C-alpha cells in the first residue's frame, strides 16, 4: 500500500514539475558516520563524530527546489538521527530527523533521507539530534543557492566560505551525557574548553593542533556563511580591521547593514560580505563568548576562537592585539543589533516576487502560545521544562503514532498548557494543535539567568519583538510588524522575552525546541501538530517507502493508518 501511494505521489510531482517548467536536480550523498578517536580538536585525542572521515562533515550544496538524497550509514555503536536545521521539509515532516518524527538509524544499518529544498534559499546546517551526539561533532554546512532566474540583491562574490563556529568540550561525549543528568555534575557542562572554527582550535594556542585560515585577494569581496554549531554559548564574531555587510540569515535576505561585529546565537546562521580592502597582510578572525568573561588564565583564553584572514602574497605574520568586541554582558548592545536585522521587502529570494509580498502588517492571529523556559527537578533528577512540563521522548515516534493510531498510547493531543505554567514540574510527551493556515504568535519567555535560543522545524517565523520582564498583550504595541526578519532560530535573553509570528501552512508534526543541547536533551521541547483535513493533492505526503518502524510498530510489517482527528481550537 505504502509503495503504491509513494509511486503515485512521485508521478504527480514529476507531472507538476513538467507542466510548471520548474527545474531542479537530484543530489546524492552517501555518508558513513563513524567515531574517530585520533582527532585532537583541543588538547588530546578524543571521540569525534565524523562523516566520511571529515570533521566538520561535507557540504550539502543545493539550489532552490533541488531534491537531496542522503544515504546515512551508521558505523557508530549507538543509534543515530540527523536533522536539517532550517530546511522546512515542505509537506514532509517524515524526513525531519528528530525523535518525534523518525525511528533512529540503528548501529550497523543505513537509511536514506530524501527531502526537497522547496521554495528556500539560504544558509543552514545539519547535525545529529539524539543521544547528545552534537557535542561530539557530526555537524556540517548546507547552502541553498538561488535559481539563476532570481536576482540576488548583491554582486556575485569572488568566493564563498562556510565558517562553522562552536564551543567544544574535551570530555568524551558519553561522559558528558551522563554528567548532565546528575545534579551534582550537571553544571560542568556550562563552560566549554574551547571555541572551534571549522573543527580547528584557536591560532597559536598551546592546546590546539591547528587553526582555520581563509585566503583572499586584495580588492575582492567574499561571502562568509557563519553558523553557530555549538551547544551552549552565543558568540560575537569580528575580523581585524574589516567591516562586514550583513545580507542573509537562515533563508531571508536582510536589509543590508554594515557591522564591526556580529552576535551569533546557538543554532543561528548568517551570511556576511567581507571586502579585502586593507593592506596585504594577515588579520585575526575572532569569536568570543557572550555572557562570559575571559581572564588571563590559559584555560579561559581557550574560549577565544581565533582564525586568520590571509591575503594572497602576504609575508606578514598576523600581529597586534585581538580586535576588541562589545562587553559580553552588554545585553542592550545585543538586543539593539537584533532589532536592526530586518527583512529586505523588495528583493526576491526563492521566488521572483518580493519577500515583502508575505508580510505581517495586517494579519489576524488565531493562536497565541506563551512558553516559559526554565529548569527544575523530577524525583531528584535535573530537568529543563516548558511551562513546567519536561518533554519525555516516547519509544514510538509521535509522527508514527499520529499517522497509524491517532496518537493512542503515545501522546494525548493538547494536554500541554500553551498559555500558563503548571504548578508542579512533571514529564509529558507534549503535542499541541496548530491551526492549519492560521497565524500563530509564540512568546518565548526565558526564566533562566543565561542565554537561550529556540528553533521551530518546518517553518520560518517573523521575529516581531524583544522585551524585558514579563510579556503582556499590550507588548504587541511595540512589535515591528513592518519588516521583521524571517528565520527559524531566535535568541531569548536572560529574564526577557522574544515574540514571533508564524504562518502554519505546512502540515506535519514539527519540533519546537531549545537549541541549547543540555536544555533540549533534558526536556525543553514540544511538538506542534499542524493538520490539514482537505483531501487535495497538496496535503502532507504519505510515509516514504523506506519508512523505519519502531516502538509499538516494530514487529508490524504494514500498519494501517487511522483517520486523523481534526485539530482543537486554540488560543
504-551 pLDDT, tens digit each: 999 999 999 999 999 999 999 999 999 988 766 568 899 999 999 999
Q: By the 8 A CB rule, do 26 and 286 touch? A: no
Give yes or no for residue 557 having a pLDDT over 60: no
Nearest to 280, CA basis, from 256, 309, 305: 309
Confidence grade of residue 293 (pLDDT, cut at 50, 70, 90): confident
> Among 132-141, 198-207, 424-433, 506-515, which is the least confidently predicted range?
198-207
10: helix, coil or strand?
helix
Q: By the 8 A CB rule, do 83 and 501 touch? A: no
Q: What average pLDDT score do residues 117-125 get? A: 98
Q: By the 8 A CB rule, do 540 and 507 touch? A: yes
pTM: 0.93
Residues 6+ apart with CB under 8 A from 481: 359, 360, 361, 464
For residue 554, the model assigns a pLDDT of 87
Most confident stretch, 251-260, 297-306, 316-325: 251-260
Nearest to 510, CA basis, from 399, 350, 427: 399
For residues 393-404, one letter each, b for 16 or more C-beta atoms within 10 angstroms of the residue's C-beta and e for the rest, the string is ebebbbbbbbbb
Q: By the 8 A CB rule, do 158 and 32 touch? A: no
Go through the domains of the chain in sequence order and give each one's CATH number. 20-145 (2.60.40.420), 159-340 (2.60.40.420), 359-553 (2.60.40.420)
Residues 6+ apart with CB under 8 A from 265: 228, 234, 290, 451, 453, 489, 490, 491, 515
- Distance set, CA 416 to CA 385, 402, 441, 459 (Å): 12, 16, 16, 21
Alpha-carbon gap, residue 174 to 135, rounded angstroms:
10
Distance between alpha carbon 283 and the CA centroid of its chain, in Å?
A: 29
Q: What is the pLDDT of residues 385-429, one digit of tens each?
A: 999 999 999 999 999 999 999 999 999 999 999 999 999 999 999
Give yes or no for residue 113 having a pLDDT over 70: yes
Which grid cell sits at 379? 524525583
For residues 143-176, one letter each, b for 16 or more C-beta atoms within 10 angstroms of the residue's C-beta and e for the rest, the string is bbbbbeeeebbbeebeeebbbbbbbbbeeebbeb
The residue with greater pLDDT, 116 or 183, is 116
Adjacent-strand bridge partners of 470: none
**Residue 409 backbone zone (phi > 0: left; psi -120 to 50: alpha; other: beta):** left
The single-letter DSSP state of residue 387 is T
Which grid cell sits at 446? 526565558
Q: By the 8 A CB rule, do 118 and 143 touch? A: no
Amino acid at each position: 500500500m505504502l509503495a503504491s501511494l509513494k509511486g503515485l505521489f512521485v508521478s504527480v510531482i514529476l507531472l507538476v514539475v513538467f507542466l510548471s517548467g520548474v527545474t531542479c536536480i537530484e543530489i546524492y550523498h552517501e555518508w558513513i558516520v563513524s567515531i574517530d578517536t585520533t582527532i585532537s580538536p583541543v588538547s588530546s585525542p578524543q571521540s569525534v563524530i565524523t562523516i566520511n572521515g571529515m570533521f566538520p562533515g561535507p557540504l550539502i550544496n543545493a539550489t532552490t527546489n533541488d531534491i537531496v538524497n542522503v544515504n546515512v550509514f551508521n558505523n557508530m555503536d549507538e543509534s543515530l538521527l540527523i536533522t536539517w536545521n532550517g530546511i522546512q521539509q515542505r509537506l514532509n515532516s517524515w524526513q525531519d530527523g528528530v525523535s518525534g518524527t523518525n525511528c533512529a538509524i540503528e548501529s550497523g544499518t543505513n537509511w536514506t533521507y530524501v527531502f526537497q529544498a522547496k521554495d528556500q534559499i539560504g544558509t543552514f546546517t545539519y547535525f545529529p539530534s539524539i543521544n547528545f551526539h552534537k557535542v561530539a561533532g557530526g555537524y556540517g554546512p548546507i547552502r541553498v543557492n538561488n535559481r539563476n532566474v532570481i536576482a540576488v540583491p548583491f554582486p556575485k562574490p569572488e568566493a564563498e566560505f562556510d565558517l562553522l563556529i562552536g564551543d567544544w568540550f574535551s570530555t568524551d561525549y558519553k561522559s558528558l551525557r551522563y554528567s548532565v543528568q546528575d545534579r551534582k555534575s550537571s553544571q560542568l557542562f556550562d563552560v566549554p574548553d574551547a571555541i572551534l572554527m571549522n573543527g580547528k582550535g584557536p591560532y597559536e594556542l598551546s592546546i590546539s593542533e591547528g587553526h582555520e585560515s581563509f585566503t583572499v585577494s586584495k580588492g575582492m569581496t567574499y561571502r562568509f556563511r557563519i553558523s553557530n554549531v555549538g551547544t551552549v554559548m552565543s558568540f560575537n564574531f569580528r575580523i581585524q580591521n574589516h567591516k562586514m555587510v550583513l545580507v542573509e540569515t537562515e533563508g531571508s535576505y536582510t536589509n543590508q547593514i554594515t557591522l564591526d561585529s556580529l552576535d551569533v546565537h546557538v543554532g543561528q546562521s548568517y551570511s556576511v560580505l567581507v571586502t579585502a580592502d586593507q593592506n596585504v597582510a594577515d588579520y585575526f578572525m575572532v569569536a568570543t563568548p557572550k555572557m562570559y568573561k575571559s581572564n588571563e588564565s590559559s584555560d579561559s583564553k581557550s574560549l577565544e576562537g581565533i582564525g586568520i584572514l590571509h591575503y594572497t602574497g602576504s609575508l606578514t605574520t598576523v600581529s597586534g592585539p585581538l580586535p576588541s568586541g562589545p562587553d559580553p554582558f552588554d545585553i542592550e548592545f545585543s538586543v539593539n543589533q537584533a532589532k536592526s536585522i530586518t527583512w529586505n521587502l523588495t528583493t526576491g529570494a526563492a521566488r521572483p516576487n518580493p519577500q515583502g509580498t508575505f508580510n505581517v502588517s495586517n494579519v489576524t492571529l488565531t493562536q497565541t502560545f506563551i512558553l516559559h523556559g526554565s529548569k527544575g527537578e523530577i524525583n531528584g533528577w535535573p530537568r529543563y521544562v516548558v511551562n513546567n512540563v519536561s518533554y519525555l521522548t516516547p519509544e514510538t515516534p509521535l509522527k508514527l503514532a499520529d499517522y497509524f493510531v491517532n496518537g493512542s498510547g503515545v501522546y494525548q493531543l493538547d494536554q500541554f498548557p500553551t498559555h500558563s505554567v503548571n504548578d508542579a514540574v512533571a514529564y509529558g510527551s507534549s503535542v499541541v494543535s496548530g491551526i492549519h493556515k492560521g497565524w500563530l504568535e509564540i512568546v518565548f519567555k526565558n526564566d533562566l539567568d543565561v542565554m537561550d535560543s529556540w528553533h521551530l522545524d518546518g517553518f520560518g517565523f517573523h521575529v516581531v519583538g524583544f522585551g524585558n520582564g514579563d510579556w503582556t498583550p499590550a507588548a504587541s504595541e511595540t512589535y515591528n510588524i513592518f519588516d521583521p526578519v524571517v528565520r527559524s532560530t531566535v535568541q531569548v535573553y536572560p529574564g526577557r522575552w522574544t515574540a514571533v509570528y508564524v504562518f502554519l501552512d505546512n502540515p506535519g508534526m514539527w519540533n519546537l525546541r531549545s537549541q541549547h543541547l543540555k536544555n533540549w536533551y533534558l526536556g525543553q521541547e514540544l511538538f506542534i501538530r499542524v493538520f490539514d483535513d482537505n483531501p487535495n493533492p497538496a496535503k502532507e505526503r504519505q510515509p516514504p517507502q523506506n519508512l523505519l518502524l519502531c516502538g509499538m510498530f516494530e514487529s508490524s510489517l504494514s500498519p494501517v493508518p487511522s483517520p486523523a482527528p481534526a485539530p482543537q481550537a486554540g488560543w
